[in-house]
């Protein structure tokens, strides 16, 4: 079997630093084998369990400090694995390895002697053109894939989550994603969605996202944008249901000065603002017939016409639309244009409801609890077994959005070390009574309670701060907390 990494034989002296109690100690060792992922060293005088720093004395290079841990040790010999807090060090190490490789015979992966020829090893098939500038990237992808294959059976959902985020940040180079845009889930249904996002992101196709309320439609649209060539250009979201019909046209397409009373200056529409980027049209089912026609025209000739303008202007915008309406039913009733549906439907992503995502609700609950933070509640350790069971069994009609609210509620309401089902209103009693608000005033109370809980959680339960967030007085906040039976955490 071939190795996963290019390893060279060497005799490099190196210093190893590690903490012993509170003292920093140093040992001089010899690096016998070196690769990008680790080394074999000799000369350690005793067993080290703590992380170490290795600084090999490279003949022609500056000082490099490699963070590592000992993975195997036998007498004075040890195998260590490197960690790279940042990747700037890798090219330096690679320079050394490249030089050492030039005087080494045989494939550095499997030892096969390939003679003079070929860019790939005749035996193990690994790519061997070390001078290729893209070699390192290629190498990382290959070793990463090989490692995954080797460990497939031992992976747990949390590992998968880490792998997905590694693919995004390291391989697809999606940097600086807002933490609010993290996509959590490892159920087969959601992995299918990830795979569709990746496939369609790099194209310029219009995408239609379907899914129940709170399933992550906007998150999906943003994920498509972030993974596309347009990622450095704007991602503009417009909720077609939230803007009154009369204003939506001006909002989307802009207007010319004097187009109507009150149009004192020319206004850019969202299409123009999103030029080069992505326009996310949420709740597309609420678009009026007039605007449906205008959107269709845009999809046909990529031109937008401001209200009151005599001619159109070309804009380069990718359309991602979403709805939780039954568009087919609307087409049958004649309230949604078939031709527009046909254009938007070039690629459809159907988001599965949370109840069909296996263990994801538990993963999401733990994720959001960590994100909300246990600050202000030093005693809170997580969810009780009963709470985890309740999270698994609940049907989540409001999907991820509802789950976030319940976790937030649980974090605020928990009195002990663990969040219990009743803290999240997931106990049988509250569920069977039917806590999902149905009347308008129930919905308003529920929304108010959620706002108070959110303000408290994000303000570390400091009343004055939470009141400021809500822009109400402290007494009003106390009154609301009393009304909704919200108690401050016992520290
Ligand atoms: N898989 C997920 N991982 C992490 N967060 C998620 C996930 N899915 C949704 N969310 C979060 O849940 C919330 C609701 O998601 P989003 O707004 O994208 O849903 P939606 O389908 O657009 O909802 P609505 O129909 O109510 O507009 C957001 O805060 C989003 O970041
Ligand atoms: Mg939405």
Is the confidence at residue 18, as pLDDT, over 70?
Answer: yes
CATH of the domain at 439: 1.10.8.60
* Residue 414 located in a structural domain: yes
Same-domain check for residues 430 and 464 = yes
Of ligand 1's listed atoms, the one at least distance from the Cα of 367 is 4
Q: Is the pLDDT of residue 472 over 80?
A: yes
The tens digit of pLDDT for each residue in 299-350 reads 999 999 888 888 888 999 999 999 998 899 999 999 999 999 999 988 999 9
Are residues 76 and 101 located together in one domain of the fold? yes
Q: Are residues 316 and 365 in the same domain?
A: no
Q: Is residue 171 in some structural domain? A: no
Q: Is 216 in the pocket of ligand 1 (CB under 6 A)?
A: yes
Q: What is the pLDDT of residue 448?
A: 85
pLDDT for res 268: 86
Q: How many domains does the chain have?
A: 3
* Structure tokens belonging to residue 396: 């989540």
More confident residue, 81 or 490: 81
CATH number at residue 87: 2.40.10.220
pLDDT of the residue at 196: 92
> Is residue 383, in this structure, part of any structural domain at all?
yes
Looking at the structure, tell me whether residues 102 and 134 fall in a common domain: yes
Domain assignment present for residue 188? The answer is: no
8 and 142 together in one domain: yes
Assess whether 305 and 398 both reside in one domain. no
What is the chain's mean pLDDT, rounded? Answer: 83
Check pLDDT > 90 for residue 276: yes
Cβ–ligand 1 distance for 221 under 6 Å, the answer no
Own/partner pairs for 314-318, CB < 8 Å, 24+ apart? Answer: 315/271, 315/272, 315/274, 315/275, 316/275, 316/276, 317/271, 317/274, 317/275, 317/276, 317/277, 317/278, 317/279, 318/204, 318/205, 318/206, 318/225, 318/228, 318/230, 318/277, 318/278, 318/279
Q: What is the pLDDT of residue 437?
A: 58
Q: What percent of the chain has pLDDT over 70?
A: 86
Same domain, 291 and 370: no
pLDDT in tens, 114-134: 776 678 888 888 888 887 878
Give 281's pLDDT tier (boundaries 50, 70, 90). very high
Q: Is 242 helix (H, G, I), strand (E, B) or coil?
A: coil
- Mean pLDDT for 133-156 is 72
**Residue 255's CATH number:** 3.40.50.300
Instruction: Among 129, 148, 167, give the residue marking a domain's end.
Output: 148
Taking the centre of ligand 1 as the mean of its atom positions, its distance from the CA of residue 322, in whole angstroms, is 12
Together in a domain, 344 and 367: no
Same-domain status, 222 and 264: yes
Domain end residue (candidates: 148, 165, 185): 148
Any atom of ligand 1 within 6 Å of the Cβ of 217: yes
Same domain, 332 and 364: no
Q: Would you say residue 54 lies in a domain?
A: yes
Ligand 1 pocket test, pick from 168, 192, 216, 450 with the greatest ligand atom count within 8 Å of Cβ, gives 216
22 within some domain: yes
Residue-level length of the chain: 491
Domain edge (last residue) among 334, 350, 366: 350
361 touches ligand 1 (CB under 6 Å): no
Structural domain that includes position 213: 201-350
Q: Are residues 240 and 134 part of one domain? A: no
Q: Where are the alpha helices (DSSP H) in 152-239?
A: 157-166, 188-201, 217-226
Count of CA atoms in the C-beta half-sphere (13 A) of 289: 5
**What is the pLDDT, as a whole number, of residue 491?**
41
**Between 319 and 49, where is the model more confident?**
319
Please report which confidence band the pLDDT of residue 433 belongs to, taking 50, 70 and 90 as the band edges. very low
The verdict on residue 190 lying in a domain is no
1 and 144 belong to one structural domain = yes
User: Looking at residues 242-263, what average pLDDT do you find?
Assistant: 81
Q: Does a structural domain hold residue 18?
A: yes
Rounded mean pLDDT, 241-267: 81
- pTM for this structure? 0.63
Tens-digit pLDDT profile for residues 193-245: 998 998 899 899 999 999 998 999 999 999 999 999 999 899 999 998 888 87
């Amino acid at each position: 079997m071939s190795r996963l990494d290019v390893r060279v034989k060497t005799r490099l002296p190196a210093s190893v630093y590690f903490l012993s109690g509170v003292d920093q100690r140093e040992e001089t060792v010899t690096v016998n084998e070196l690769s990008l992922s680790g080394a074999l060293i000799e000369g350690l005088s005793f067993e080290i369990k703590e992380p170490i720093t290795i600084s090999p004395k490279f003949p022609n290079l500056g000082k490099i400090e490699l963070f590592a841990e000992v993975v195997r040790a036998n007498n004075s010999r040890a195998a260590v694995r490197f960690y790279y807090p940042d990747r700037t060090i890798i090219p330096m190490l690679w320079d050394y390895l490249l030089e050492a490789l030039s005087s080494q015979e045989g494939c550095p992966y499997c030892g096969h002697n390939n003679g003079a020829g070929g860019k790939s090893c005749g035996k193990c098939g690994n790519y061997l053109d070390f001078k290729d500038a893209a070699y390192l990237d290629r190498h990382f992808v290959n070793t990463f894939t090989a490692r995954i294959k080797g460990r497939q059976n031992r992976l747990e959902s949390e590992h998968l989550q880490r792998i997905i985020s590694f693919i995004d940040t390291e391989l697809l180079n999606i940097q600086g994603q807002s933490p609010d845009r993290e996509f959590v889930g490892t159920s087969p249904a959601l992995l299918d969605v990830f795979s569709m996002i990746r496939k369609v992101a790099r194209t310029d196709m219009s995408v239609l996202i379907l899914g129940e309320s709170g399933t992550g439609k906007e998150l999906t649209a943003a994920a498509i944008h972030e993974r596309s060539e347009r990622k450095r250009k704007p991602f503009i979201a417009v909720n077609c249901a939230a803007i009154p019909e009369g204003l939506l046209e001006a909002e989307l397409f802009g207007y010319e000065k004097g187009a109507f009373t009150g149009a004192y200056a020319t206004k850019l529409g969202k299409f123009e603002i999103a030029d080069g980027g992505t326009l996310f049209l949420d709740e597309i089912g609420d678009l009026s017939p007039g605007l449906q026609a205008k959107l269709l025209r845009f999809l046909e000739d990529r031109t937008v016409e401001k209200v009151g303008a005599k001619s159109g202007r070309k804009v380069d915008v990718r359309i991602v639309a979403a709805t939780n309406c039954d568009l087919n039913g609307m087409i049958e009733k004649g309230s949604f244009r078939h031709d527009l549906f046909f254009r938007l439907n070039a690629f459809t992503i159907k988001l599965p409801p949370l109840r069909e995502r296996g263990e994801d609700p538990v993963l999401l609950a733990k994720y959001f609890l960590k994100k909300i933070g246990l600050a202000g509640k030093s005693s809170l350790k997580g969810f009780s077994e009963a709470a985890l069971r309740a999270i698994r069994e609940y049907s989540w009609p409001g999907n991820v959005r509802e789950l976030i609210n319940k976790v937030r509620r649980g974090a605020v309401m928990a009195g002990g070390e663990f969040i219990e089902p009743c803290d999240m209103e997931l106990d049988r009693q509250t569920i069977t009574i039917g806590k999902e608000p149905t009347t308008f005033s129930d919905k308003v109370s529920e929304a108010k309670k959620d706002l108070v809980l959110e303000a408290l959680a994000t303000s570390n339960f400091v009343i004055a701060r939470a009141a400021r967030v809500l822009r109400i007085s402290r007494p009003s906040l106390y009154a609301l907390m009393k009304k909704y039976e919200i108690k401050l955490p016992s520290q």
